[in-house]
Amino acid sequence: MKKIIMFAAAILIVSVVATISFYPSVAQSQKTTKSLTTSIPENVKTILQNSCAKCHGDNGSGMAMGVWNLNLWDTYKPAKQAKKANAICKAVTNGSMPPKSFTGAKPTATQISEICTWATSIQVQN
């Protein structure tokens, strides 16, 4: 009889621990899935297309495409998208991109803020 009680107590403890450790991960994975987006919204895509894709797009510069390629964006894993989006926001904010030598359209202040709003929105996971 004592053994049965011990056994029941052990099962109870195990299931409580299992429940506690299981729930936060479920909550987190739901949050992650919800916050992720695999495609760039149209407004931001247009900006990147006009100001960046000449180098960071198919037939662009090899070095630039190695850093990020607009045409391959949807194939990047979520963590990579978040990291690249963050770097993109930083680069346009500090003015290092597009390079000074680039003669095409430079993003305006409004466009930079659109890029960074998007970048921030996909940084929830990790």
Residues of this chain that interact with ligand HEC (CB under 6 A) are 51-52, 54-56, 61, 63-64, 67, 87-88, 91-92, 96-99, 102, 107
Nearer to ligand HEC, 36 or 67 (CB): 67
Nearer to ligand HEC, 32 or 60 (CB): 60
Minimum Å gap between C-beta 73 and ligand HEC is: 12
- Residue 99 CA, chain-centre distance (Å), reads 24
Minimum Å gap between C-beta 35 and ligand HEC is: 21
**Cα–Cα nearest to 73, from 119, 22, 10:** 119
Nearer to ligand HEC, 10 or 79 (CB): 79
Minimum Å gap between C-beta 33 and ligand HEC is: 26
67-73, Cβ contacts within 8 angstroms, sequence gap of 24 or more: 70/40, 70/45, 73/39, 73/40
Minimum Å gap between C-beta 28 and ligand HEC is: 28
Give the C-alpha distances (Å, rounded to integers) separating 88 from 2, 23, 31, 40, 97: 65, 35, 24, 13, 8
What is the total residue count of the chain? 126
